[in-house]
Amino acid sequence: MAMVQTQAIEAGALPEMGIETCDSADGLSVFNRHGTELAVWRRALPPQLRAWLEDVDPANLPEHRVLLRPSDMPVAMESLLDECGMPAGDMRDLLIADIHDLVSHFADITRSEFVDVRLERISHDSCWKFHRDNVAARLLTTYRGPATEWIRAPYAEQALREQKEFDGPIETLHRNDVAIFKGSAAGSGNGIVHRSPPIVGTGHTRLLLCLNQRTEISPAPWPQSDDTEAWLR
C-alpha cells in the first residue's frame, strides 16, 4: 500500500474555497452559505469526558440508529445506552447532553423535524473507501479513536480513482471536531470526498456520531412502540 501524507487540520489552515471553520456550534450555520461544502467546528470536550470515553469497555459502546425529534433525544439516548451497558453517571450525562446539542443544531441548520441519529462502535475498516455521501448534509464527530479523513478538491478525483493506492495529501479532522459535509445530493454537483480511517490491526475502537436528515431508508420514528427493540438497531 502506498504511503500517504496525512495531516490534521489546524486553526486558520483552510483557505480553500468552500471550506469554512468556526469556534462555536452556532458558527456551523455557515454551512448554509452558498458555496460552502464543509463546515468544521474545532472544539475540545472536557478532559474528564475524553478520559472516561477511552476507559469504557468497547463491548459497552453503542452501535445503534434511531430517527427522532430533537426534543426526544435525551430519553431515547438514555434507553439506548442502558441497552448497550454503557455505565451511567455524570460522564454519560455529559455525553448525552453533547449529542442532544448537536442533534438540535443539525435540525436547525437543515430545517429538519426529524434527525436520523447513528452512534456507532467501529473496530474494523468501516467505509474505508474514499467516497462522496449521497445525501444533502451529514454531520460527523468522533468521540473516541481516529477521526474522519477528507480530501481537498484538487486531489478528490485522484483519490476516488486510486483508493488505497492514493499517495496524495489526506486531511484529518481532530477527535471531537464537528464537521458538516455537503454530499452529492446537495445540488452542488460535488460534495467532499472523505473516508473513515483504516484501523484494522491498530487496536483502536472508534465511537462515531453520524447525523442525517430523514430519508426513505431511515428507521421508523421513535418511539415506534413500547418495545425498545423495535427502534434500536
pLDDT digits (tens, 9 = 90+) for 176-194: 999 999 988 887 667 899 9
* DSSP letter for each residue of 119-131: EEEE-S-TT-S-B
C-alpha cell at 31: 454551512
CA 88, chain centre distance (Å): 23
How far apart are alpha carbons 93 and 74 in whole angstroms?
9
Taking 60 as the threshold, does the pLDDT of residue 227 lie above it?
no
Q: Which residue in this structure is represented by grid cell 452529492? A: 184
pLDDT in tens, 79-113: 999 999 999 999 999 999 999 999 999 999 999 99
Q: Which residue in this structure is represented by grid cell 480553500? A: 16
C-alpha cell at 215: 430519508
Taking 80 as the threshold, does the pLDDT of residue 232 lie above it?
no
Which residues, 6 or more positions from 9, have their beta carbon under 8 angstroms from its beta carbon? 21, 40, 171, 172, 173, 174
Instruction: Give the residue-averaged pLDDT of 123-148.
Output: 91
Taking 80 as the threshold, does the pLDDT of residue 172 lie above it?
yes
First vs last C-alpha separation in the chain: 35
